[in-house]
Structure 1
Amino acid sequence: MVREDRSPRQHWSGFLTVCVVALLLAVTAAGPAVAEPSLFVSGASKDTNTVLAGDSVNVTATVQNTGNSGGAMSIEYVVNGTTRATERVVVDAESAVERTRALKFDTPGTYRIKVKSPGNSAGRVKVKPAIVETTRTDSTMRELKIRGGMVPTNEPYVMNVSGPANRAFTLQSWTVNASQEAFTQDVTEYTEPSAADISVPSGDAASVFGVVTVGSSGGVEPSSMQFALNRSTLQQAGIAAQDVRVYHRVNGSWKAAETAVASEQPNRVVYEADTKERRLTPSGKSSRRSPSHERQSSTNRRQMDIVSPSGELSKTLAVPREPMTRRCWSTVKSSTRPR
C-alpha cells in the first residue's frame, strides 16, 4: 500500500478551497433583504380641552412608517378604555401621515382619549353642561356667548363668568332657570355706558359706570347673577359697599331686586342679585323724580339699576327678559331713588 505524502502547502490549499466554497454557499442562501413596512402611531392630539355636551372634539393621530416599503395598519380611537372608532391608514415607506377624527360627547364628565396601537394619549377633555365663551373684548365692552348643552330643567343652573379684574365692574356668574337643556344667550358687558344702545340714566344727577345686556332665549329665564364692583369705583361715588342695590325697569317704573354682598376682596366687592321677575318688589317712595329713563329703544328692552337705599344710584346693570328682545341692568349715582 502506497502512502501519499502531502506537503503542508497542499493541506492549506485544500482547506482554503473548502472555506471559500462554504462562504459562497452561505451568501447565496441569504439572498437580497426583503422590503418590509414598519408602522406605528407616533403621536396624538386634540383641538380643545373643554367642550359643551353634545359637541365634538377633533382628535388627530400621526402614523409613521420607518420601514423601506409602503404598508397599512388599523388605528383605534379609544375613550376611557372603550374603542369609539377604527380607521385603516396607508403610509408610504419612510414617511408619516396624519388622520383626524371627530368624537362626539353627549354626557358631561372628564374623558381620557388615546389612539393606538401602540397607545398614545391625546390627553383629557372636560365635557360641561354649559360653557361661557368670550367672543370679543376691548377697552369699552366684552361680548360673551353662553351656551347650554345639558343643563338641568328642574333647578337653577349656575354658569361662572371669568373676566378681567381691572374693570370697574364685571359679571362673575349667571344663573338661569331653563325649561330646555340646550340654549344660547348673547351677553354684552359695557364698561363705557355710552357705547351701549340702551336707555340709561342721564343728566347732571346721574353718573353711569357700566351696563350689561343679555339677549333673551326662549324657555330660559334669569334666576340670579353675581357681579363685582371695584372698591375705587365705590369710593369715587361715595357709596358704602353694603348700600348697593339692584333695580329693574318694568313697564315704566322701577322695581327692586334682592341684593346682598356675596364676598369682599381687597380691591373689589362681589354682589349677588335675584333677577327673577316674580320676586322683584317696588322701591320706596321718593320726593323727587330720578333722571330721565323714558326713552324707549326700538327693541323694547327692560333695564335694571343698582342703587343705594338712600336713593343715590351707585351703578347700573342690564339684562333682557321674555318676551323682550333684550334686558339690562346698570350702576349709577343720583340724588334720588328711581321711580
Structure 2
Amino acid sequence: MTEAPASLPAITLLIAAPRGFCAGVDRAIVIVERAIEKYGAPVYVRHEIVHNKFVVDSLKAKGAVFVEELDQVPDGVPVVFSAHGVPKAVPAKAESRGLDYLDATCPLVSKVHRQAERQVEAGRHILFIGHRGHPEVVGTFGQVPSGTMTLIETVEDAEAFSPADPDGLAFLTQTTLSVDDTAAIVAALQRRFPAITAPKGEDICYATSNRQTAVKAIAAQCDAVYVIGAPNSSNSLRLVEVSEREGTPARLIQRADEIDFEWLATVRTLGLTAGASAPEILVREVVTRIGERYQVEERQVETARETIAFKLPRGLETR
C-alpha cells in the first residue's frame, strides 16, 4: 500500500472475513482456464461464468468467448456452462449437436437440482424461493417438468399462494439469498402449510451465509460499508441489504474507480467486503486507492474459516 502523508485524515478499514471467492466460483474459473489449456482457444462459455466483469474480462484475455445462448456456439468447439447452472434442455441440445461441454455448475446448486427432481418424483409441488430471472432460478426450474414448481419471491407471495393439494408441497431455495428474508418466507410457508417438506440441510450456501454473518459483525462498528461485487450478483446485493438492515449505509462498487470520496467525507470507520464472485485483487485495489487519500488503519474481522474445495470434472484434474 502507498504510504500516505501524515497530513491526510485517518480512516479505519474493517475488512470482513470470509469475503470474496467461494469454492464454487473458484472451481468454475479453474474449469474455464483448464479447458483453454486442454483444448486451446477459443473456449465458449454460456452466460458469464460468474457475475464479475473483472473475472470475465480476464478469461476473455486468455481465450474465453462468452455468449448467452448455445445457438451462438459454433460447431466443433468446446463450451462451458456457468456456475449458476442451466436447464436440462441445454446439455441435451449440446449433445444433439455433438458439442464437447463442461458443466461448471456449483455443486451446491447441483444439489438443489437433484432435490427438485426427487420432490417431483415423490409427487410434490415445489415452492421455490428465489429471484425471478436469476440464472440459478432459470436453471433450477429447467430441471423439472413445467407446472411442477412455483416461484415465491416474498412473504406476500407465500401468503397468497393457493395450492391444489396443501399436503403435497415442498420448498427449496436459491443458494444466494438473504438468510433473514428467506427465514421469514419459510416461516410463513410452514405456518400456512404445516405438512410442507423442507430441504435436507440448508439450501442457502455456506459462503452466502458466512459472508452475511461477517458483514453483520462489522456493520455495527462502521459508519459505512462498501461491498465489492457486480450489480447482477445476487449474493453481493444481499450483503448491501444486510449492512443497511443493521443500520449502516452501504454501497456496491465493482472497482476502486467507483469509490465516492464525498460519501466518505464524514466516515471514520469503513467496512469492506466482497461478494463470492469478486477476487481478492479487487479488495486490495480498493484499499490502495483509499490509502491515497487517507492514513489507513486496516483490521480484519474474521467470523469463520472456510476450507471447502470442490473437485474438478474428470479430465481436468491435472494439468
Class of the TM-score when normalised by the shorter of the 2 chains: under 0.3
**Greater helix fraction, Structure 1 or Structure 2:** 2
**TM-score between the two structures when normalised by the length of structure 1:** 0.22
**TM-score between the two structures when normalised by the length of structure 2:** 0.23
**Greater strand fraction, Structure 1 or Structure 2:** 1
